[in-house]
Structure 1
Amino acid sequence: MIEPKRVLRALAEHWSLLEPLCEHFDQGTLSLIELRKQLALQLGDGSPTDVTALLDQWIRLDILVPVAKSPNRFELNAQIHDFLAYLRREHRLGLCLEIEAYLRHLERLAGHILDAFEVRDAHDLARQLRLLDMRVRDVLKKLANDEQALVAVAERAKTSERQIPLRQRYAEVLATWDEYVEPMIQLVAADGAFEQGVHRVEQVLLQLLGEQQRLGQLVDDDLLLRTHARILEMQGTAQLTLRRARELLLPLREEARRHNAVTRGAAMALAAIRRKGLDAVPQAALPLFSRPQSNFLGSASQVEAYVYALARFEAKPSRFPKASGKRSNEPGRAPRSAREMLERCEQALPLPDLMLWLLQQEPDGATDELLYWFSRLSRDSRFRRERLQRRDYLTREHQLSLSSYALAGQP
């Protein structure tokens, strides 16, 4: 086993030599001759013996590893490469499938947590909760890395040479959008796998908290609450990362697509004009090549008529309704108070479907008002709720699709 201190000491001592080599290793492997040449250039006065001793030390410490089936070619150890990339603040964009794999693992861990709680195994329960917390931190770290990598993609597209065609300059942007952002949009959507998986894991933790209060503690509640808070942080971070990606890459993507369409259309129009003259251009496109008449000053007779009409302009008097006039619409009834709605709901308990009951109580109610009372009543602590299957509800103005609740009184 290689002693970590020796590896860290070698990295610190030879950082000035390793950092330039990282750029070469980012592009591929290096042969032994190429390595010796690069090190000889950097060492300057170093002898071939010094170069050989340095390479031998790096190989013994596993900083350099031979490429499979090519013993004369070397590459940086993958872990060392990642560590150096972190020190150099380099970020490589991962795959959306990695987040999906993490999510499936979180769901499996949630199942193991439930199994451990059912058999009252406190040790296994604490271990599974720690694993869940560590996996969530891995997801947070990956999302932070992906966000920085997206920033780097946008910066490279904006700062590349202007002589390069736009399609080539933005090729990485277009590929990143298709391979990362689009799948992330589907994954983090309201009905996507990410939201559903997070909801299932969150429900397991909340159920565990409730069962511990009823049956007694197996693990500290702080561990459950901390893991639950980290789950919510992961959910918010994923949405923020996606929003950041869209803000960075969507304008560049649209610019590339729009520029391509305009360039292609202009080239076709110019080719037609060169072959057949201006008559070959469709009449609908002619305003693009001419200035509208409205931008020019009119003739002398038009100006004279305009001034004549302006001098004799008379404003029409405004007509206001009479004070004694009666309104055609009757005043609406006063809005119901929260106390009144809570009392009516308590009297109607048990409610098999809260949203259906609200529609029966307020058949002509506005959609936003119905949704307000649905949220207000379903979250009240005096009711015990149970989520129902998603279904459609018809209000006076809209068709709603939501998962309602069955309400019952607290025992």
Structure 2
Amino acid sequence: MFNPRSLVYALYTHWDIVEVLARLSRESAQFTTEQVQESIGKVSPHLDVEAQGAALRALVNADILQALPRSNDLLLNAYVLEFVRGLTREHELGLAAVLQARVAAIREATEGLNEGMARVDMDRVRGAAHKLAELFRQISLQLDQDRHALFELAEDAKSADSGMPITQRYRRVLEAYDQYVEPMNQMMDTGPQGTFYRHLEDAERALDLGLEQLSVQGALYSHRLQLRQVAHQAKELRRFGRLVALQCADTLLPLREELRQHNALTSAISMLLGQVRKRGLRRALSRHTEDSALPLWRNERGFKLQLGDEVRAVMAAVRQYQPQSVSFPQDDPHEAGPLLEYVDEVGIREHLAGSVPVDNLLDWLNNHYSHLQDATLLRLFHDLQHEPGLRIEPTDSIELTDLQAIRILHYPHRVTMDP
């Protein structure tokens, strides 16, 4: 059993060497003594052979490098390898099945949380909340690691030798898309087939209801705080999962489409060369041959030539062009009636105050101000009914009053001075 303090101190002392070995572990899981010494020499070229051997023995004594049984080879400690890869973003792409299993475990933990709240079993509620928090943490960590692993795959494919066959160049990208990105997209689908958002929504709903129930029951603040923190983790995980899925698809999908386009172009060129060999160059490239319409071989785009305003002005000046004048019809000012009319409401109120008593207010307005429109007369009729200082009382009889365009059936309003 290794000593954690000695391991951490040796990791601090020989970090550059361990970082190089962690990067080389992608190509070879086991190292020979010569490979380790060669790596130490690259990191610290000023060290002699004896100092390199001392550094190697220090790594072995701290259990950073472990000796394999029945062999002289060395193996990097699994805990150290995971720790270094996590800090240096050198992760390997995880398995989609592991992510799916953790997402499925959210449903079981949510059911345990609901049962604990139904039975008022706080131990089970806290245990289920702790399990949900741990699952959220593991899923978030795996999504972040897988995102960086996919980015590195894409960068390696883009920076590979252009002379390498494109199928070999993008082989790992296609495998990652088919084995990880596509299953992850299906799992994170918002439809009925997706499980990621559905299980997270159920867990989030159960946590919110549990927090509300604990608040009503007056539970301990630490219990409510635990549920609130786990609910915040669920909300953040939903956002982070959507972001990671979008970034992974945007990174790998263009490379996948580039490979498919290259395959289509290669097949089109091969077909064209075969036709040239069989029919000859002139017949194979004839525009009247239907088989010459090959995909991605020729791109024809039509265009239209238009004259600008400056060219039109120059041409008009040269040809002494005179535009024809077009007379537009004008509205007859006598046909349209006045839209607005002036009304002296202050004078009308003074006139009414001097004319009281008035037996029929509407007839009085029609007799003295018949030049006003019907809508204006009716507005004045309703406004004068609320005039302070006057008493307006409707009578019991019904009368007809003819205005300019309409006939009003109403109860006459008698106007007297307010005593």
Give the TM-score range, shorter chain: 0.5 to 0.7
Aligned to 2:368: none
Counterpart residue type for residue 89 of structure 2: R
Q: How far apart in 1 are the matches of 2:301 and 2:242? A: 47
Distance 1:260 1:94, change over 3 A: same
1:115/1:291 CA distance change after superposition, 3 Å = closer
Question: 1:273 aligned to 2:276?
Answer: yes
Deviation, 1:59, is 3.0
**Structure 1 residue corresponding to 2:225, chosen from 219, 222, 227:** 222
Q: Contact 1:209/1:224 (CA < 8 Å) preserved in 2?
A: yes
Aligned residues: 308
> Residue 65 of structure 2 corresponds to which residue in structure 1?
64
In structure 1, the partner of 2:214 is 212
> Cα offset for 1:291?
7.6
Please say if residues 64 and 76 of structure 1, whose CA atoms lie closer than 8 Å, have aligned partners that are also in contact.
yes
**Tell me, which stretches of 5 or more residues in structure 2 are unaligned?**
306-314, 332-419
Selected match of 1:252 from 252, 255, 258:
255
Using the size of structure 1 for normalisation, the TM-score is 0.64
* Structure 1 unmatched runs, 5+: 297-306, 323-411
SS in 1 for 2:18: helix
The 2-side partners of 1:258 and 1:107 are apart by 42
Q: CA deviation at 1:129?
A: 1.6
Q: In the superposition, relative to structure 1, how do residues 245 and 127 fare at CA in structure 2: closer, same or farther (>3 Å)?
A: same
Residue in structure 2 matched with residue 99 of structure 1 by the alignment: 99
What is the alpha-carbon distance in structure 2 between the residues aligned to residue 24 and residue 13 of structure 1? 19
Task: Give the Å deviation of 1:190.
Answer: 1.0
* 1:294 CA displacement: 7.9
Q: What percentage of residue pairs aligned between the two structures are identical?
A: 26
Tell me the residue number matched to 1:285: 292
Distance 1:110 1:295, change over 3 A: closer
Indicate how the Cα distance of structure 1 residues 200 and 293 shifts in structure 2: closer, same or farther if over 3 A, else same: closer
CA-CA distance at 1:76 after TM superposition:
0.7
Picking from 200, 203, 212, the partner of 2:202 is 200
Distance apart, 1:286 and its partner CA: 5.5
**Is the 8 Å Cα contact of residues 23 and 90 (structure 2) preserved in structure 1?**
no
Q: Secondary structure at the residue paired with 1:65?
A: strand
- Return the offset for 1:6: 1.1
CA drift of 1:213 comes to: 4.0
**Contact 1:29 1:73 survives alignment (8 Å):** no
Q: String of CA shifts for 1:326-354, please: whole Å, max 9, x gaps.
A: xxxxxxxxxxxxxxxxxxxxxxxxxxxxx
1:159 Cα offset (Å) = 1.9
Partner of 1:329: none
What RMSD over aligned residues (CA atoms) do the two structures have, in Å? 3.7
- Cα deviation digits, residues 213-271 of structure 1 (max 9, x gap): 44442653232222112101111111111111121111111111011101211122112
- 1:233 correspondence with 2:236: yes
AA at the equivalent of 1:96: A
1:67-95 Cα shifts (integer Å, max 9, x gaps): 4x653222211110111223333232212
How far, CA to CA, are the matches of 1:107 and 1:250 in structure 2? 31
Whichever residue aligns with residue 279 of structure 1, its letter is: R
CA distance in structure 2 between the aligned counterparts of 1:227 and 1:162, rounded to whole angstroms: 48
Which one is further off, 200-209 or 273-282? 273-282
The alpha carbon displacement at 1:65 in A equals 2.3
Deviation (angstroms), 1:111: 2.4
Shift of 1:207: 2.7
> What is the match of residue 312 of structure 2?
none
Farther off after superposition, 159-168 or 35-44: 35-44
Contact 2:215 2:224 in 1 (8 A): no
Within 5 Å, which residues of 2 pair with 1:104-143? 104-143=104-143
State the TM-score, normalizing by the size of structure 2: 0.63
Amino acid at match of 2:292: A
